Structures are given as C-alpha cells and as structure tokens.
C-alpha cells in the first residue's frame, strides 16, 4: 500500500518542522538534552507494549512478525539506561525518576491501547508504520547532534538507525491491498493522523512547547443525501374543511 506509506511520510514531514526538531540546532551542551529523561519513559513502555502485543496474538500470520519486532526492541531501554549512566544523565537518580509529561503519557496510552484492543492490521499501522517512522526520523536527527558533542557511544543510538526503517514496513504486506477511500482505508488514515498528532505533541512537550493537532490529510466522504417524503394530505373540495372523525 504505497499510498499509506506516502501519507505517513507526509505526516512525518510535518512533524519534522515541529519544535523538537527545530530545537536540535540550538543544542550546545549535555544539559540541553534534558528530554532524554522523557525518552526513557517512551522507550520502556513502547517496548513493553510490543511484548504485550505478541503475547496476546493468536493469529499465526502475525505471531512471527510481532515476535521479531518485540525481540529486536527488548533490550533497547537497558541500552539507553547504560548510555545515560555513562554520560552523567542519571547522577545518582533512578531512570524514570523525572515524571513523564502528560503528552508522553497520552502517546504511550495510545500504544498500549493499540496493542491490547485494536485488530492486528490496525496495530501494524499504529505501532509499525507510524511509530517506527517517527522513531527513524528522531534518531536520524539526534545522532549527528550527539556525534558533534562527543556523546555518541554504545549501541542504543546506532541500532535504531539500522532497524527502524525495517520495522516500519514489518507486517504491512499482511494488511492486503486496501483502497484509501474504502472503510478500512479510512480507518487506517484516521489511525495515522491520531498517531502522528500524539507523537507531535509528545516531542513538542519534551522541549516545553505546546502543539495543536496536526492537519488531517484526508476528508470524510460526504454522506449520501436522504430526502424525506411526507405523505400528501387527503384532497378536499375547494372551500371546505375536513374535520377529524370522532371515535364512536
């Protein structure tokens, strides 16, 4: 479904113009990277949602896909914690001690709900196509910044650049060839917009900026017009009035 990937890419392009990505150019010192304390919340719970998705899946067509994704993400939170400790971001505190922003919690709630409640094909759209696409853009933008600061070490950062482009398409072939204006296609489009908006608001909150919902790239088909046909009144002779009949 190339149209779906194209639409996801357009949302990601909008997101890359947002406050978080614009703020990267102004980073000069490690203290400007306070958002890594939000990243640990996202990394932990997104990985847990992927594991939950796999554990709840009984459809053999999707089990292998969900297992591969969860397995390849499983140690990422520990890799991030190790990196934070090596570069002084923990400073004797527990990882995750900084409270998550409300927008981070909203995004994670969306991921959990997708893993637990949504059909498998919708999970692919939310947790692979959109989530991993945003992750690819995030790491592709952050890695050069860390490299310039001498903070690029360990596997956490580099491994994402290697696997996220694979993960975003993982399982999409199982969704079939869905037309964009079909009921299923419209549902996929709404999921893309919902996920993109939540990630936009989450990343913006990491640099202290509010963010409005993203502009939707689809329009609902107009409902078919229905005409109400009222019954014609009984005809009466001109100049007379018909009175209602009284019950005997």
pLDDT at residue 142 in the model: 96
Average pLDDT over residues 230-238: 55
Helix, strand, coil percentages (3-state) for the chain, rounded to 5, are 65, 0, 35
Tokens read off for 144: 């050069």
Q: What is the pLDDT of residue 163?
A: 80
Which domains occur in the chain, in start order?
2-206 (1.20.910.10)
Lowest mean pLDDT among 135-149, 162-176, 231-245: 231-245
State the pLDDT confidence band at 169, using cuts at 50, 70 and 90: confident
For the entire predicted model, the pTM comes to 0.86
What is the arithmetic mean of pLDDT over 6-31? 95
Q: What is the mean pLDDT of residues 110-114?
A: 97
CB atoms within 10 A of CB 96: 16
**Confidence at residue 40, expressed as pLDDT on a 0 to 100 scale:** 97
CA atoms within 13 A on the CB side of 25: 6
> DSSP label at 214?
P
Question: Count of CB atoms within 10 A of residue 97's CB?
Answer: 10
Given a cut of 70, whether residue 238 has pLDDT beyond it is: no
CA 21 to chain centre: 17
Whether the predicted pLDDT of 106 surpasses 80 = yes
Give me the mean pLDDT over the 96-120 stretch.
97
Per mean pLDDT, which range of 3-12, 59-68, 169-178, 211-220 is the poorest? Answer: 211-220
What's the pLDDT score for residue 160?
Answer: 78
CA 193 to mean position of chain CA atoms: 8
3-state DSSP assignment of residue 55: helix
Cβ contacts of 105-112, under 8 Å, gap ≥ 24? 106/198, 106/201, 106/202, 107/42, 107/198, 107/199, 107/201, 107/202, 108/41, 108/42, 108/45, 108/46, 108/49, 110/194, 110/195, 110/198, 111/45, 111/46, 111/49, 112/45, 112/49, 112/52
Q: For residues 237, 242, 247 and 248, what is the CA-based torsion angle, rounded to 10 degrees?
A: -50
Between CA 150 and CA 75 the distance in angstroms is 23
Q: What is the mean pLDDT of residues 124-129?
A: 97
Residue 170 has pLDDT above 60, yes or no: yes
- The pLDDT value given to residue 219: 65
Read off the DSSP letter of residue 129.
I
Q: Is the pLDDT of residue 242 over 80?
A: no
Confidence band of 239 (pLDDT split at 50, 70, 90): low
* Residues in Cβ contact with 102 at an 8 Å cutoff, skipping those fewer than 6 apart: 205
């Amino acid at each position: 479904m190339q149209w779906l990937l194209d639409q996801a890419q357009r949302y990601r392009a909008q997101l890359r113009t947002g406050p978080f990505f614009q703020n990267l150019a102004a980073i000069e010192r490690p203290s400007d990277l306070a958002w890594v304390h939000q990243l640990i919340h996202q990394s932990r719970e997104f990985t847990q949602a992927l594991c939950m998705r796999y554990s709840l899946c009984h459809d053999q067509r999707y089990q292998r896909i969900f297992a591969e994704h969860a397995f390849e993400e499983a140690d990422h939170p520990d890799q991030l914690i190790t990196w934070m400790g090596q570069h002084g971001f923990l400073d004797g505190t527990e990882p995750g001690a900084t409270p998550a922003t409300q927008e981070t919690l909203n995004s994670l709630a969306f991921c959990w709900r997708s893993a637990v409640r949504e059909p498998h094909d919708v999970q692919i759209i939310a947790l692979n196509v959109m989530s991993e696409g945003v992750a690819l853009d995030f790491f592709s933008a952050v890695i050069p910044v860390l490299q310039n600061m001498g903070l690029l070490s360990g596997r956490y950062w580099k491994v994402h650049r290697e696997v996220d482009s694979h993960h975003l398409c993982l399982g999409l072939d199982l969704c079939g060839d869905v037309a964009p204006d079909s009921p299923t296609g419209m549902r996929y489009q709404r999921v893309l917009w919902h996920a993109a908006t939540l990630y936009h608001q989450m990343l913006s909150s990491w640099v202290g900026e509010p963010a409005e919902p993203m502009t939707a790239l689809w329009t609902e088909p107009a409902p078919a017009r229905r005409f109400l046909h009222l019954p014609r009144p009984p005809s009466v002779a001109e100049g007379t009035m018909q009175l209602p009949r009284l019950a005997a």
